[in-house]
Structure 1
Amino acid sequence: MVFDGRELVIVWRIWESCSLACRFCGYSRELSRPRLAAEVPSIIAFAQVLRDVQQEHGRSILVSWLGGEPLAWAELPGLSRILAREHGLRLGVTTNGLPLESPRVRASLLSDYQQVTVSIDGLAPFHDHVRRMPGLFDRIGEATARLCSEDSSGRLWRRVNTVLMRGNIEKFAQFCEAVADWGFHELTFNQLGGNERPEFYPANRLLPEQIMRFTDELPGIRRRMADRGLLIRGTQRYLARITATSNGEQIAVEDCNPACRFLFIDTLGRISPCSFTSDSYGIPISEIDSAEAFLTLPDRFRAMQRERRLAACDDCHATHVFDKFKSQTGVAPSVRA
């Protein structure tokens, strides 16, 4: 594993329950499915390995919690405190926003985290409808405002992630204006996928003509939002991936540089190059018991890929591989007062 000073991001699904009934999500409360939680001792043991990787090899590591709704997990505040304060790991979390109404949750974020990502899927009418909770959009706005006012040191990086669908993409510019008003630093976007809720996908997937229009309008939106201090992530390569999906085209990836920039861990404690490969390439984190073992992951994953290539690699939808989180060249946000 070669380090170049850039951060390694580990997205860790730790909790599969959620109080919302979102129409497009596989973790909606209305679905009858197992609701797993990660094992706390296993998390702490692996955090010690990550600490050693940081200290011995100079690699900054961000662990980003994913759910379900991870901030609803009772174990998380104490666990995050251990990882941040005892092991020196940087922390992030993705949330539906409702837990931000809790003063205790906000205090935990401001003391132990570097990043929070709030999932918001358009303006109030659409967001509240697709997530089946009237008033949710406004509640998130109010909770975010409290979080901003309490972050006197400017410690916490605030990101909004939005899922682009047929019913919300036309108002993307207005949506960006709204979240800029709320004090978010950056915005990332996904296109709606069909793996989790295939019954929702056909009538709500993006149309090719919508993506063409979006691609044409995005540079101007980026510039306007940069002037307001909101950075919109995602390069032309990412837009090309979205366009290909809408046209039914596959994009194969021969070498995704597994474990060099990104790793995924599921609730079963399996570490893999991405969430699409957990079942086939996942390695139990109990096997990764030292910094030296951790450093072998790229070679181990490449060996697995050579031995048995997956259909997921012949049509790769791992967004980090296609530069979802990178900035378009030449666009930088203004500094907020």
Structure 2
Amino acid sequence: MIMSRPAGIGSVKPVDWAYDRAPMIIYWELTTACGLACRHCRASAQLEPPPGELTHDEALHILDQVADFGSPMPHVIMTGGDPMRRFDLDELIAEARNRGIGVSLSPAVTPLLTKQRIADMAALGVQAMSLSLDGSTPEHHDGVRQVPGTFEATLQALADANEVGMPMQINTLVTDTTVADLEDIYELLKGYKLFQWSLFFLISVGRGAQLREMTPGDAERTLIEWNKRRPDAPFRIKTTEAMQYRRIIAQRLLRAGQTEEQIINSPASRGFGIRDGNGIMFISHLGEVMPSGFLPTSVGNVRDRSIVELYRDTELMRALRRPDGFKGDCGICEFNRWCGGSRARAYAWTGDPLESDPLCPYKPAAAKAGVHTQHPGTSQSPAVSGATA
């Protein structure tokens, strides 16, 4: 395959951002029970846990398998549903820490999330927590969460976490209807202490299929704008399922005169290459292992096979770690080692996780030169990366 790169790309030895040995992060859905009914919920959570959730002994076995990855071990983010509704949460955190596994927590904002419980989590060794804030007013946020009072409760939980010294990340949903509120959310968050603000660009899975994603052009403009704001922000600004943010960061730095090597060795490269199946793995409440919670294709179950084997050796996981094998523009893009596109969105739109990310409008240099990817066993044309539903 011919690869044409713009000036500044490919001038140094390619960086191997393939996380073959182990994921950096394991998202572990402890339960789908939750007291909220969020409009975009990936898990389609319900009030009570469903039959078949992993037992306590099975959960401990998962922790043993995480340790089997060796050093450095993946960091485990316990999520849901609402992990606060998992009956053995405290013990699982303690057992993870006993094995040397780093743990973060992503709870729902319900009456279970008290200041005392946040302090308890800190005492158990939870290294960080994340909360969701999807609007700058009760009308906006509670309209997404569908439980009145959640906006004020979220701000109170954030203040409580600041007081007890729990490092905090805030996650914000980005859709065609919420994007206009980002500026006001940003101004609101500046009044609190957090280490990171993550802009989650909607994937149409679970109840999120009821909402609308942004158009590629609008998404690109939004990412460019927040990249401009990034250097002066009081906290890191990252994206979830909008990997092209890394391309935009790199393009701006290249225009400013930085070399590829300088970019690779700078803090700006934090997260480069990480995506579904490459540095990321998801374990469901039923033990199904997937590239991510937003790419709901199981590669096997922890009840039958080791998570180490499922991550390292299954065909889909291995394919997701080879961006030159992606289809369409993502496969020939000069930034694909750094970005790689959202594999979850490609799957949601086309049914093929190796297709181009339909939210990215960027046209690679090779595509402009008429170069196309070829994949054995298929004669179909690759998806157009700027397509809209």
Letter paired with 2:35: S
Give the structure 1 partner of residue 253 of structure 2.
Answer: none
- Which of 128, 140, 154 is 1:126 aligned to? 140
Instruction: State how 1:273-284 maps to structure 2 within 5 Å.
Output: 273-275=291-293, 279-284=297-302
- Which of 225, 229, 240 is 1:221 aligned to? 229
Residues 96/237 of structure 1: CA separation in 2 closer, same or farther (3 Å cut): same
CA offsets 1:158-201 (integer angstroms, 9 cap, x no match)? 11111102222112122122123121110111222222136622
Q: Distance in 2 between matches of 1:177 and 1:214?
A: 16
Q: Assess if the C-alpha contact under 8 Å between 1:42 and 1:286 holds in 2.
A: no
Residues 115/305 of structure 1: CA separation in 2 closer, same or farther (3 Å cut): same
- Which of 337, 347, 353 is 1:313 aligned to? 353
Q: Assess if the C-alpha contact under 8 Å between 1:169 and 1:210 holds in 2.
A: no
Instruction: State how 1:170-185 maps to structure 2 within 5 Å.
Output: 170-185=180-195
Offset of residue 111 of structure 1: 2.8
Residues 49/132 of structure 1: CA separation in 2 closer, same or farther (3 Å cut): closer
Q: Distance in 2 between matches of 1:217 and 1:193?
A: 21
Instruction: State how 1:160-309 maps to structure 2 within 5 Å.
Output: 160-197=170-207, 200-201=210-211, 204-208=212-216, 210-225=218-233, 228=234, 230-234=235-239, 237-239=243-245, 261-275=279-293, 279-288=297-306, 294=308, 297-301=311-315
Letter paired with 2:116: P
Q: Assess if the C-alpha contact under 8 Å between 1:100 and 1:147 holds in 2.
A: no
Q: Assess if the C-alpha contact under 8 Å between 1:71 and 1:105 holds in 2.
A: no
Offset of residue 259 of structure 1: 5.7
| Structure 2 segments unaligned to the other structure (5+ residues) | 1-17, 249-272, 321-325, 327-346, 360-389
Q: Assess if the C-alpha contact under 8 Å between 1:162 and 1:188 holds in 2.
A: yes
Give the structure 2 partner of residue 141 of structure 1.
Answer: 155
Please identify the structure whose Cα radius of gyration is greater: 2
Letter paired with 1:94: S
Residues 100/179 of structure 1: CA separation in 2 closer, same or farther (3 Å cut): farther
Q: Assess if the C-alpha contact under 8 Å between 1:93 and 1:115 holds in 2.
A: yes
- The percent identity for this pair of structures is 20
Q: Larger % of helix: which?
A: 1
Give the structure 1 partner of residue 87 of structure 2.
Answer: 74
- Which of 94, 97, 113 is 2:106 aligned to? 94
Q: Assess if the C-alpha contact under 8 Å between 2:128 and 2:167 holds in 1.
A: yes
- TM-score normalised by structure 1 residue count: 0.71
- Which of 83, 103, 111 is 2:96 aligned to? 83
Q: Distance in 1 between matches of 2:220 and 2:88?
A: 44
Number of aligned residues:
288
Offset of residue 3 of structure 1: 7.4
Residues 31/206 of structure 1: CA separation in 2 closer, same or farther (3 Å cut): farther
- Which of 39, 43, 49 is 2:55 aligned to? 39
Q: Assess if the C-alpha contact under 8 Å between 1:263 and 1:274 holds in 2.
A: yes
Q: Assess if the C-alpha contact under 8 Å between 1:91 and 1:113 holds in 2.
A: yes
Give the structure 2 partner of residue 329 of structure 1.
Answer: none
Offset of residue 282 of structure 1: 2.2
Q: Distance in 1 between matches of 2:171 and 2:238?
A: 10
- 3-state DSSP of counterpart to 1:148: helix
Q: Does 1:12 align with 2:28?
A: yes
Residues 65/90 of structure 1: CA separation in 2 closer, same or farther (3 Å cut): same
- 3-state DSSP of counterpart to 2:206: coil
| Structure 1 segments unaligned to the other structure (5+ residues) | 243-254, 320-337
Q: Which moved more, 1:86-95 or 1:265-274?
A: 265-274
Residues 296/219 of structure 1: CA separation in 2 closer, same or farther (3 Å cut): closer
